[in-house]
Structure 1
Amino acid sequence: MSKPSPNTAAGVPSATPPCWTVGDVTVHRIDEVLLPPATGPWLLPGATTDLVGREEWLRPDFADSDGILQLHSHSFAFEKDGMRVLVDTAIGNGKTRANPAWHKLSTGYLDNLRAAGFSPDSIDLVLLTHLHTDHVGWNTHEVDGTWVPTFGNARYVTSRTERDFWAGYDMDEPRRHMFEDSVVPVEEAALLDLVDVPADGVEIASGLRLLPTPGHTPGHLAIQLTSQGKTALITGDCIHHPVQFAHPAIGSCVDIHPEHSEATRRRMLAALADTDALVLGTHFPPPTAGRVVSHGNSYRMTSVPAA
């Protein structure tokens, strides 16, 4: 199946970016762009229009009346104990990409970040769930024809397993080009920290934990935030869309290890089901956040509106 056609929507800067409260932490969604309708059938081919159409709870927010999934590109930003954190950096502006929906974007992403109260220079920590194109793009921006780190005062963090995997991977030219403009400049600036993440995760700051969620990529991470007894989980791409709550076997066409991806998804949903934990989907369209509730032999998502 061909990749989705270009998305011409540039993304409108938000006067008040949507946010959710987790204990005493406010998590802001930093919007980049609504992905084109062809993204769903390409990314999650198992989510056919017939299957999606039978899940009435997905409409109108997560799927349209024709059973086409809606997906979004954004980051999350928050401040925890004085540390300013950004989770994933979306697609980026002005980058040459093989996927026409991601090619040479011009969005208001940095304006949205500033509107949430986070200037690029104020970011202390950039957490990268994995090293795919649409999660590392704003790692860098172009200055005088050179790609330089956007968040020059931050430490960029990902799992050692993730970077080691790609270091030994036979990349095609588009992926190699992405690493050269969005990952290598961060490494060359000595801003990238690689973390060993054990099976039960690792706490990198008080109330901030990296959880291993392999399958989509071998070193994929989810981000767990805890504050005042409340918990939120930022999914990255271990769950792309709420349809996977109801059908965990549906995987992405770009999963490196599909069977591991499904096992991770089932384990995560079972752990979250019928708890108060807030799930923040990295590609979930608005309302973006919700809780996992049991429904028969699978799950659904109950949405939690943004403030």
Structure 2
Amino acid sequence: MERIVVGNVEIIRVLEYQGPFAPAARIVPGLDEQAWADGDAVPAPEHYDPASGSYIGALQTWVVRSAGRTVLVDTGVGDGRERPGTPMFHRREGHFPELLAAGVRPEDVDAVVNTHLHADHVGWNTTGKDGSWVPTFPNAEYYLPAADRAFFDPAARHPARDGAAVDPARWAEWDLVFEDSVAPVIAAGQAVQWSGSLRLGPALVLEEAPGHTPGSSVLRVESAGERAVFVGDLMHSPVQLAHPSCNSCFCLDQAQAAASRLRVLERAAAERELVIPAHFAGAGAARVRKAGAGFAADWVR
């Protein structure tokens, strides 16, 4: 585990996986090979493997201890999930519970923040028990973006399901995710759906940052004059710091995602916020500053 301190807030990184995911050009398709080969923009080998052209990323959860409360930010992929459209996640067997137990007991978690409702952010929301899925953290409130609930919940029948913009195979996979990792939390009465912004405590505020998904969000930390921001999937790679208009292949609304990314990064640079993305490998967090048309990173280790 790695530990970061922001004012009076302690942040602990729990790494579920770190390594190659896919060809870099597939993850951020708007960039050519040269953009990835720029060592200043995408440090190798922590974020990019020049030999294979692979994007290097991480699956991780952040434990935030603030004002006597324990908060988890995103919960990874989970074990034993049916994810046929994503081989890397399909029936995955990981060691997340053992890693988390080294510092946090499930019953001690007060809140779980899902920055959005994609498979690799909600997986350990639940665990299998007696043939069904139950909340992993029995005493926690789970904070779910209302716009994502409306979009992904099969029962809500979002109008986008009847359009051609999204491959039906993706809807099928999203339905599996909702069924095993989100619906059980709602059924247990532990879900808190929110929109706009929501204060979780004296140092923590949730804010919408839509585009990657309709309810994509960030969690801001402000304590004793220091700041940080968990940005979820607003970025997948440091290449998007140098090229902030470029989206990942997973962003549903391209224009909105780019606008949210630029807005969050500009504020982070202006206020010297520590930026903590969901999937950065290596150091995993950075302070950002303006650099030409984009931004550069000062890595925090």
Please confirm whether the aligned pair reaches a TM-score higher than 0.5, indicating the same fold: yes
Gap regions ≥5 residues in structure 2 = 162-167
Counterpart pick for 2:229 among 226, 229, 233: 233
Range with greater deviation from structure 2 (104-113 or 132-141):
104-113
Q: 1:196 to 1:57 in 2, by over 3 A?
A: closer
Q: CA deviation at 1:213?
A: 0.5
**Backbone CA RMSD of aligned residues:** 1.6
2:198 alignment partner AA: V
User: 2: distance between equivalents of 1:213 and 1:133?
Assistant: 18
Higher strand share: 2
Aligned equivalent of 2:157, options 160, 168, 171: 168
1:293 partner SS: strand
| 1:77 aligned onto 2:63 | yes
Q: CA deviation at 1:93?
A: 0.9
Report what 1:154 is aligned to.
140
Question: Contact between 1:73 and 1:282, CA under 8 Å: does it hold in 2?
Answer: yes
**Residues 191 and 39 of structure 1, relative CA distance in 2, 3 Å threshold:** farther
CA offsets 1:149-170 (integer angstroms, 9 cap, x no match): 1011100012222212223332
User: Is structure 2 residue 95 aligned with structure 1 residue 96?
Assistant: no
Residue 131 (structure 1) aligns with: 117
1:111-260 paired onto structure 2 within 5 Å: 111-115=98-102, 117-166=103-152, 167-169=156-158, 170=161, 172-197=171-196, 201-260=197-256
- Deviation digits for residues 32-70 of structure 1 (CA, Å, limit 9, x no counterpart): 112534164333222443211024342222222345321
Aligned-partner SS, 2:20 = coil
Contiguous gaps of at least 5 residues in structure 1: 1-16
Contact 2:74 2:114 in 1 (8 A): yes
2:47 pairs with 1:62: yes
Farther-moved stretch of structure 1 (75-84 vs 268-277): 268-277
Q: Secondary structure at the match of 2:193?
A: strand
Q: Distance in 2 between matches of 1:110 and 1:203?
A: 28
Does the 8 Å CA contact 1:160/1:194 hold for their aligned counterparts? yes
Q: How many aligned positions are there?
A: 285
Q: Distance in 2 between matches of 1:188 and 1:303?
A: 41
Letter of the 1:136 counterpart: V
Pairwise CA distance, 1:142: 0.7
Sequence identity, in percent? 34
CA contact (8 A) 2:195 2:208 kept: no
Which residue does 1:53 correspond to in 2? 37
> 2:25 is matched with which residue?
41
SS state at 2:70 partner? strand
| Matching residue's letter, 2:234 | C
Q: TM-score, normalised by structure 1?
A: 0.88
Which whole-Å CA distance do the structure 2 matches of 1:106 and 1:234 have between them?
A: 26
